[in-house]
Every structure is written in C-alpha cells, then in structure tokens.
C-alpha cells in the first residue's frame, strides 16, 4: 500500500475519506456495492487482508475514479453505471496500480498540512484528487498503470478484451461532455516564488508545473490491445 501521511494521529487517507463522506452521499448497498465488492474481492484475493484496498462509490457529477494516499479507491456511481464486472475490474485495478507503482509518492506534505489546517471540505479534496488522476501522474505513469491494471485483471481470470470495453464507455462519455480540456494554468498575477503564497495559488502552480496532459482514450486502448495480443501470442507459443 502506498505510504500515507500521518498528522495529529489521523492519516491523510482516512481524513480525506471522512471529509468526502461529509460532503457527498456514499453508496451503502444494492447492485452498485455488490458489483464493486465482488470485483474488488476477486482482484485482490492474493493480497493479505490488511493491505487490501477498499472501493467506495460516491455520488458525484463526474464519470471518474481516483485514489488518494491510504487504502481507498473512489469509483463514481456515474462511471459504475456504465460498467459491467469486467470494465469495473479494469477501473479498480488501474487505481490499485497507482499504489502498486508508487505514483502517489509525488504528493508534497504541504498539501496535507495546509489542506487540513484550512479545513478544505470534501468537495474540494475530491476535485483535487480528480485533477491529480487526470493530469499529474502524467502519460507515462498512466500508461504504466494501465498495463499493470490489465495484468491484475488477467491474473484474476478476467477476459482482457471485455475489460478494455471500459475505454468505449469512457470515450462515449467524453464525447457527450466536450468539457474535458479545461486547462489548469496559474494566473499571470500569481507569483511562483512567493513563499507566503496561499494554498490555492500554490496548488495551481503545483498542478501547472506537473501538468503534461494525458493520453487520448483511443491511444490507451490501442496500446493495451497490442499488449493483450502479444500476451496471447506468447501463451499460444508456450502451449505449442
């Protein structure tokens, strides 16, 4: 599990979870929880129970999944509505992959410290980690997480091709929205060198410095299809 940041005896992951819960409705039972629990259990069956990630299903406007330091993966109900078990498995595996690959270690301590001292609410925290998911990991890390996610799905016995159908759902959703290209850039008036800059200013600059965009959905799918085909070829050579 990725390292979590402790402060005043409460880990950042638990604190974020609490703040998010105070701000939006989390699914408790019904088909949505049944699906994520079933899939999550199958994906993590080989991990010791105390290191397993917990999948939460918040009602948010966005069609997204994201994670934070600690043990939680957030899977918006809107995205879950588009997914069957295989697609959901890929989404969850992708978030777990960010932890397995150490991608959350980029988070600077001041985000936790200032965020807590300013009492940022769950909505702001949610959008913070959403932006991190979309922009901060960068295309290399996203590709690595996609590849690792596919491996996790295959290891759990899922049909790889059916898992990749999640990209069709994401593409349709992106086309419906047309608003994905919001650019997070600092205002020209923001002074990067100002040590006393407020949280929002520092956050905007931090985003901007790391923002490298992310790969188009089609490129992600094409890369994974190729990987799937070469894995199948290797397997058939092994069998032959």
**Pairing between β-strand 54-56 and β-strand 72-75 as defined by DSSP bridges:** parallel
- In whole angstroms, the minimum distance from the beta carbon of 90 to Zn ion comes to 11
State which residue, 15 or 90, has the beta carbon closest to Zn ion: 90
Query: β-pairing, 10-11 with 65-67?
Result: unpaired
State how far the Cα of 113 lies from the Cα of 116, in Å rounded to an integer: 5
Residue 22 CB, nearest approach to Zn ion (Å)? 25
Q: Shortest gap between Cβ of 133 and Zn ion (angstroms)? A: 5
Report residue 217 as tokens: 């959905």
27 versus 131: smaller Cβ distance to Zn ion: 131
Tokens of 80: 């879950």
Structure tokens at 231: 């894995």
Closest to Zn ion by CB, 145 vs 166, is 145
Q: Which residues in the 194-233 window bind Zn ion by CB under 5 A? A: none
Of the candidates 146, 137, 144, which has an alpha carbon nearest to the alpha carbon of residue 211? 137
Question: How many residues sit in the footprint of Zn ion (CB under 5 A)?
Answer: 1
Nearest CB to Zn ion, comparing residues 90 and 202 = 90
Distance CA 219, CA 227 (A): 12
Smallest distance, Å, CB 145 to Zn ion? 5
Q: Which of residues 127-146 bind Zn ion (CB under 5 A)?
A: 145
Distance CA 21, CA 205 (A): 28
Interatomic CA distance for residues 136 and 192, integer angstroms: 18
Q: In terms of CB distance, is 141 or 202 closer to Zn ion?
A: 141
In whole angstroms, how close is the CB of 240 to Zn ion at the nearest point?
A: 36
Binding stretches for Zn ion (CB under 5 A): 145
């Amino acid at each position: 599990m990725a390292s979590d940041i402790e402060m005043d005896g409460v880990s950042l992951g638990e604190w974020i979870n609490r703040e998010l819960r105070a701000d939006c409705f989390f699914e408790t039972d019904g088909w949505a929880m049944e699906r994520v629990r079933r899939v999550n259990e199958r994906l993590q069956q080989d991990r010791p129970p105390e290191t397993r990630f917990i999948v939460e299903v918040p009602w948010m406007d966005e069609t997204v999944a994201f994670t934070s330091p600690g043990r939680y993966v957030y899977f918006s109900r809107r995205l879950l509505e588009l997914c069957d078990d295989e697609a959901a498995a890929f989404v969850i595996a992708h978030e777990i992959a960010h932890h397995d690959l150490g991608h959350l270690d980029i988070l600077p301590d001041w985000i936790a410290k200032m965020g807590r001292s300013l009492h940022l609410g769950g909505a702001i925290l949610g959008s913070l980690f959403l932006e991190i998911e979309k922009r901060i990991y960068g295309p290399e890390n996203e590709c690595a997480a996609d590849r690792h996610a596919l491996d996790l799905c295959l290891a759990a016995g899922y049909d790889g091709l059916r898992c990749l159908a999640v990209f069709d759902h994401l593409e349709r959703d992106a086309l419906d929205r047309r608003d994905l290209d919001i650019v997070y850039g600092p205002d020209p008036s923001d002074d990067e060198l100002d040590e006393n800059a407020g949280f929002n200013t520092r956050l905007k600059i931090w985003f901007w410095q790391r923002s490298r965009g992310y790969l188009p959905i089609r490129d992600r799918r094409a890369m994974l299809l190729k990987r799937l085909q070469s894995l199948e070829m290797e397997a058939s050579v092994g069998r032959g």
